[in-house]
Homo-oligomer: A and B are copies of this chain.
Amino acid sequence: MFIDDLPTPALIIDAGALEANLATMAQAWPGNRLRPHVKAHKCSALAKVQQRFGHSGFTCATPREISGLAKAGIEADFLLANESVDPARLGAIAGTGATVAVDSDETVHAAARAGIKNVLIDVFVGLPRCGVEPDDAARLADLARSLRMNVRGVMGYEGHLMMVADATAKRDQVSAAMDTLRGCAEKVGGDVISAGGTGTWREHLDTGITELQAGSYALMDTQYATLGFPFRQAVHVVGTVISRAAGWAVADVGLKALGMDHGNPEVDGYDVWFCSDEHVTFAVKRDPNAHGAPTFLPKVGERVLVAPAHVDPTMSQHERAWVHRDGLVVDEWAIDLRGW
């Protein structure tokens, strides 16, 4: 079967591009220096490929991502890099030995009550989301230890710096955020300093963290593509043209097949006008410098490739991904870590 034979919309993963991305990252961040973030793909089969590239730990955003990886037979050093006060869900992952991020008395107590043995102190490093105030990190670590949990170290996610355009500003701001985090690490104890993402994979080579939490690098999206990294677009949604007018065409890849929080997707070779629930409307490129772009619209029944603007919430819209090599479908992977 070829990707042109798939019912659409079909999530497809280019195995060659994926492997190239994993190889590039594993060279810069080998073994347990990288803790791949599975929220970016929610696919245990893809996590197994990441294991084959040498990584022995995973970052997760939901308890179900961890329990799903375990259910798929993956034994690894799991990190729930997110706060939870849900006793049932924390209890369900305690048996995996998972490490859980905590940033408040409530989350420390919830982890302890659920039988969690290992925690990281999640430190605020500038992104207004989770993370304890740096001045309070050591106290929180003491609280966790008093409840007989092992404090493995600290984490801090500088998500607000992923897309900083100026290279010098980005390096300086990441460096400053990590000065804060390293300072906390000394006071907190443990040997883990976990931070970063695909957007700051290069900056962190000099920040002294012990592990990088990157996810998007594996499959990529059009937003990260703007940063010029050596990672290729490895995931697309294949669509079928279902309607064509004089000035536009419509394919069956809509809001429910894409993550839309970063805006419209790209349709390979065309200008995207807008998406509806089950449609993307696109037209011939207006840019006169778009050399090589099609000057005619595809016909009804022809296929188009749609590249998502944000990979994480695109993956979670699909039940499965089709893995291909040069268009030949070689595998089918369940997106089995969806939900909570």
Which residues of A are in contact with B by a Cβ distance under 8 Å? 7-9, 39, 61-62, 82-86, 88-89, 103-104, 106-107, 124, 128-131, 133, 159, 240, 242-248, 250, 252, 255-256, 259-261, 273, 275-279, 281, 299-301, 310, 312-313, 316-317, 319, 338-340
Residues in chain B near residue A260, CB distance under 8 A = 259-261, 313
The reply to whether A131 and B255 contact each other, CB–CB distance below 8 Å, is no
Assess whether A316 is in contact with B317, with CB atoms less than 8 Å apart. Answer: yes
Give the residues in chain B near A316, CB-CB below 8 Å.
Answer: 256, 317
Contact partners of A256 in chain B: CB under 8 A: 312-313, 316, 338
| Stoichiometry, copies per complex | 2
**Chain B residues within 8 Å of A86, by CB:** 7-8, 240
Contact across chains for B159 and A276 when beta carbons are under 8 A apart = yes
Known contacts A86-B240, A277-B312, A312-B277; A319/B300 CB under 8 A: no
Known A129-B279, A260-B261: A82·B319 in contact at CB below 8 Å:
no
Report the separation of the CA atoms of residues A76 and B7 in the bound assembly, to the nearest whole angstrom. Answer: 26
Known: A62-B278, A242-B84. A107 touches B248 (CB 8 A): no
Contact sample, A vs B, 7 pairs, CB 8 Å cutoff: A83-B243, A85-B301, A107-B242, A131-B243, A255-B259, A317-B317, A319-B339
In the bound complex, what is the Cα–Cα distance between A124 and B246 (angstroms)? 12
Whether A240 pairs with B85 at a CB distance below 8 angstroms is yes
Q: In chain B, what residue has the closest Cβ to A340?
A: B9
CA distance A84 to B86 in the complex (A): 43
CA distance A111 to B119 in the complex (A): 58
Contact of A242 with B300 at beta-carbon distance under 8 Å, contacts A250-B130, A256-B313, A339-B319 already known = no
Q: Is A261 within 8 A of B275, CB to CB? A: yes
> Please, how many angstroms separate the alpha-carbon atoms of A129 and B241 in the complex?
11
CB contacts (< 8 Å) of A275 on chain B: these are: 261
- Candidates B129, B247, B261, B277; contact of A61 at CB < 8 Å: B277
How far apart are the CA atoms of A84 and B85 in the complex, in Å? 45
Q: Which residue of chain B is the closest to A242 with respect to CB atoms?
A: B83
- CB pair A255–B301 under 8 Å, yes or no, is no
User: Please, which residues of chain B bring their CB within 8 A of the CB of A124?
Assistant: 245
Query: Whole-angstrom distance from the CB of A314 to the nearest CB of chain B?
Result: 10
The residue of chain B having its C-beta at the shortest distance from the C-beta of A264 within the complex is B261
Chain B: minimal CB distance from A37 (Å): 9
Return chain B residues, CB-CB under 8 Å to A273: 128
A259 / chain B contacts, CB cutoff of 8 Å: 255, 260
